Every structure is written in structure tokens, then in C-alpha cells.
Structure 1
Amino acid sequence: MKKYHIRKAKPSDADGISNVHINSWKTTYKGIVSDGYLESLTVEDRRVKWEAILTGSHQTYVCELYNGDIAGFVSIGKERDEQFEGELYAIYLLKEYQRHGIGSALFKFAMSALKSKGHSNMLVWVLKENPSKYFYYSFKPVVVKQQKISIGGDDYDEEGLLFNL
């Protein structure tokens, strides 16, 4: 039996989403992004941003465990550069819930939600050095873009992966 469900995020989820966002950054990007930058990230600072997002129009969905905790989230919408149709802006999952099918469920949910809104493709940006990028590769994307991104004052290479929906 599945021990979670995916639902639209509400303003009261800001704390849980912030916890997932910051702690997954600290585990996923350790050894890639500078330790100083990762140590500077706080749930409190991120909560303010998520409260603003969740009180407006948004397409953020959480994976809620049956004990009420949030294990992960996904945020989607129109592709920002308007070169493609849909975009997965963020998908994060706490490390202890990875490799249990929840990430795949969130990803497939994002694809389905964008398709239901009339999109035929979805762009995802991923750091080239992020070993989690191979999760995305299992869904057979095409690398369509590359760019530099600045995080904490350092530049990193990103790949734009395109998925057909």
C-alpha cells in the first residue's frame, strides 16, 4: 500500500516545503556547490519565499506522507524562455525517501499535469555535475540547451533536458 499522496500545495505547507527544499539542497549538492553557500541556506529564509509563492497563483504539489509530513514537492508551469511549452521548475525529495518510487511519482505527476494543460513537452534544468541527473535520463530526454548559472558567487554548467509529454 502506498504511504503517501500527491496534492496541490497550500500556504500552510510553506514550512514543510522549505524543509525539503533546503535539506535536499544540502544533501544533493554537497561536494558540488561550496560548503559555505550550503551552510548559509536556512529553512526560515526559504519559508518566506514559499509563503509568497503559495499565497499566489501557483502549480506546486507536495508528496504528503500519511503521518502528515512532506517528503517532497514539485513545481511546474510555462517554460520561462517561451522556447518550449512546459517546465519543471523544481523537484526535491528528502534523501531518506529517495529510491522508493516517490521521485518517479512526482516526476510523472508533473508530466501528466502539464500535458493536461495542453503542453506537449517539458523542459528541466539540471546541473551537469549533479549525479541525480541520471534519474532524469531514465525518462529519455533530449539535451536541448546549455547555460551557466551562478550559485553563491560560483558558476556552474546546466543542461536543459526536454521531455515529450
Structure 2
Amino acid sequence: MVGRTRSRGPRRRAREPGVERRRPARVRGRPRRQAQLSHLERPPAFTLRRAEPTDAEQLAEVHVASWREAYTDLVAPEAAATFDVAERRELWTRALRTDPTPGMTTHVAEVDKSIVGFATTGPPRSERVRDIELRGLYTLARTHGTGLGGALLDKALGDRPAQLWVLTDNARAIAFYRKHGFAEDGTAGWFERWNVAEIRMVR
């Protein structure tokens, strides 16, 4: 007598090592009718991974686009004019291919295989008050409010103590970092290239 074979159903696709897929958390407290949005209205799922040398071009484009969205109203026009894709392409090519800085790591966030943000960590560039510095965290404006920025920060730092610099007038960024455990430590600086004041935050 032949026994019955149990159906196992479709196999799940193996997850690539080092790649993390997340869908933004659902916002609680909204009426059910508002919560049941169409798939076009819901924040898209995003993927987090380490940056690769082939990402230099996309990183340059996202870096400039997100920088202009965040800083156009905070820095002088002549300073903003010096921040272009060609310069960022050269920087990212060096960082990821030809002359990487020891200890520096970049993670990227992707939506539909296109980079929409990144976070870079490395040794502190000025006075060391923590062992690691968040050197930059940029996301395109269309991803704001989806949880992507916080996910990138967690991927880059975990719960480790860190330091960072942020423009004094960048209230949105300061509020974001406070939400994630950072606080101003009373140290101020001046970013000469953009001719703007900045403050240090630590956790």
C-alpha cells in the first residue's frame, strides 16, 4: 500500500546574505477606512544592504538630489552650486573603489532596485568623543515618513554610541536624531565650505 505524500507547498526563496528587506511599520490609531490604502498609496518595501563599488553612480545622483532637497534653504546659493553629481561621483568612486577610507562603511536603501538613501559611518573626523561617527545620512524626500531613515540609522549603527554633526538650523534633522537617542553636547562648529554653523550630537 502506498502512503499519501503530504504537499509541502511552494518553497520560500532564500534570502541573500547581508541583505535586509523591510516594510515600513503600519501607523496605529488611524480609522480603518484610512488605513486600508491601495497598494499605490502605501509606502513601498525597501531593502537595506552594504554599498558596492558599482553603486558609485547612483550614490552620486541620490547624494546630490537629497542634499538639495534638504539644504537648498539652509545654505547660500553659491555654496549649493558647488555640490554637483560630477564631484560626488568622483568622491564615491574613491570611497568605494580606488581609495576607501579605513573603517568607513556605507549602507544603502533601495526601492525597486533603485537607491533612495544611504548612511555612512567611520572614525570621527574631528575631536573623538565616541569611537564612531555618523558621517552622513541622506534619503530622498519622497521616502520621508516611511521609516526608511530610521531603518538606515539602525542598520548603520545598531545601538552603538556615536557622534555626528548637524547644521544648527536643520530643525528636522535635529528632531530626527533626538528621536533616536542623540542629544546636543554643547559643542558648536563652523562648516567653512557651506559657510554655516553646526552642532555636535552624541548618544
Query: Which band: TM-score by shorter chain?
Result: 0.7 to 0.9
**1:105 equivalent in alignment to 2:143:** no
Q: Deviations over 1:108-149 (max 9, x none)?
A: 11221xx5xxxx510011001013221112123221221111
**1:141 equivalent in alignment to 2:186:** no
Q: How does 1:79-94 map to 2 (within 5 A)?
A: 79-80=124-125, 81-94=127-140
Q: What is the distance in 2 between the residues matched to 1:5 and 1:139?
A: 20
Higher helix share: 1
Q: Deviations over 1:27-61 (max 9, x none)?
A: 11121101232233221221011010012354111
> 1:5, 1:63 within 8 Å by CA — same for their partners in 2?
yes
Q: How does 1:13-162 map to 2 (within 5 A)?
A: 13-55=55-97, 56=100, 57=102, 58-65=104-111, 67-80=112-125, 81-112=127-158, 120-132=160-172, 133-144=174-185, 145-152=187-194, 154=195, 156-162=196-202
> Secondary structure of 1:121's match?
coil
> Secondary structure of 2:128's match?
coil
Q: What is the distance in 2 between the residues matched to 1:158 and 1:26?
A: 17
> Secondary structure of 1:28's match?
helix
Gaps of 5+ in 1: none
Which 4+ stretches in 1 moved above 4 angstroms? none
TM-score (norm 2): 0.70
- Higher-Rg structure is 2
TM-score (norm 1): 0.85
What residue in structure 2 maps to residue 4 of structure 1? 46
CA-CA distance at 1:83 after TM superposition: 2.9
Q: Deviations over 1:81-124 (max 9, x none)?
A: 33321110010001111111000101111221xx5xxxx51001
Which structure's relative contact order is higher, taking Cα pairs within 8 Å and 6+ residues apart? 1
Code of the residue aligned with 2:94 in structure 1: it is A
- Residues 141 and 100 of structure 1: is their aligned pair in 2 closer, same or farther, counting only changes over 3 Å? same
CA-CA distance at 1:162 after TM superposition: 0.4
CA-CA distance at 1:23 after TM superposition: 1.0
C-alpha RMSD over aligned residues = 1.7
Code of the residue aligned with 1:26 in structure 2: it is R
Higher strand share: 1
Q: Which moved more, 1:5-14 or 1:82-91?
A: 82-91
> Secondary structure of 2:81's match?
helix
What residue in structure 1 maps to residue 37 of structure 2? none
Q: What is the distance in 1 between the residues matched to 2:72 and 2:175?
A: 17
